[in-house]
Chain A
Amino acid sequence: MWTAVLLGTLGVYLLKLVGLCVPKSVLEQPQVQEASALLPVALLAALVAVQTFATGHDLVLDARAAGFAVALVAALLRAPFLLVVALGAGTAAMLRLIT
Chain B
Amino acid sequence: MSTTDTIADRSWSRARTAVLRDAVGVGVAVGALGLSFGALSVLAGFSVAQTSALSLLMFSGASQFAVIGVMGAGGGALTGAATATLLGVRNSLYGLNLASLLRLHGARRLVGAHLVLDESSAMATARSDPREARLAFWATGISVFVLWNIATLAGALGAHVLPDPEALGLDVAAPAAFVALLLPRLRGRRLWALAVAAAVIALIMVPLLPAGIPVLVAGLTAIVAAFTARRAGDR
Per the bound structure, the CA–CA distance linking A84 and B91 in Å amounts to 25
* Residue B124 lies at the interface, judged by CB distance under 8 Å to chain A: no
Q: Is the interface of B mostly helix, strand, loop or mixed?
A: helix
* Closest Cβ–Cβ distance, residue B168 to chain A (whole Å): 5
A residues 1-60 touching B (CB-CB < 8 Å): 1-9, 11-13, 15-22, 24, 27-28, 30-31, 33-54, 56-59
B residues 159-177 touching A (CB-CB < 8 Å): 166-177
Per the bound structure, the CA–CA distance linking A38 and B90 in Å amounts to 9
Report B-chain residues with C-beta under 8 Å of the C-beta of A63: 169, 172
Per the bound structure, the CA–CA distance linking A7 and B86 in Å amounts to 12
Per the bound structure, the CA–CA distance linking A6 and B185 in Å amounts to 28
Do residues B218 and A48 form an inter-chain contact, with CB atoms below 8 A? no
Q: Give the nearest-CB partner of A12 in chain B.
A: B88
Do residues B219 and A46 form an inter-chain contact, with CB atoms below 8 A? yes
Per the bound structure, the CA–CA distance linking A31 and B14 in Å amounts to 41
Report B-chain residues with C-beta under 8 Å of the C-beta of A36: 89-90, 92-93
The listed residue (B53, B74, B95, B219) touching A5 by CB distance below 8 A is B53
Size category of the binding interface on chain B = 35 or more
Do residues A48 and B203 form an inter-chain contact, with CB atoms below 8 A? no
Chain B interface residues toward A at CB < 8 A: 29, 32-33, 36, 45-47, 50, 53-54, 57-60, 62-63, 65-67, 69-71, 73-74, 77-78, 80-100, 102, 104, 109-110, 112-114, 116, 166-183, 185-186, 191, 194-203, 206-207, 211, 214-215, 218-219, 221-223, 225-227, 229-230
Chain A interface residues toward B at CB < 8 A: 1-9, 11-13, 15-22, 24, 27-28, 30-31, 33-54, 56-59, 63-64, 67-68, 71-72, 75-76, 81-82, 84-85, 87-94, 96-97
Give 17 A-B pairs besides A16-B88, A37-B226, A84-B179 with Cβ atoms closer than 8 angstroms. Answer: A6-B53, A7-B81, A8-B54, A12-B84, A19-B97, A27-B93, A35-B222, A35-B226, A40-B87, A44-B87, A44-B182, A47-B65, A47-B69, A49-B198, A51-B73, A52-B175, A93-B169
- 20 residue pairs of the A-B complex, CB under 8 angstroms, read A1-B47, A1-B77, A8-B54, A19-B96, A20-B113, A27-B92, A33-B93, A35-B222, A42-B194, A42-B222, A43-B219, A44-B182, A45-B196, A50-B206, A54-B203, A58-B207, A84-B176, A89-B168, A91-B169, A92-B171
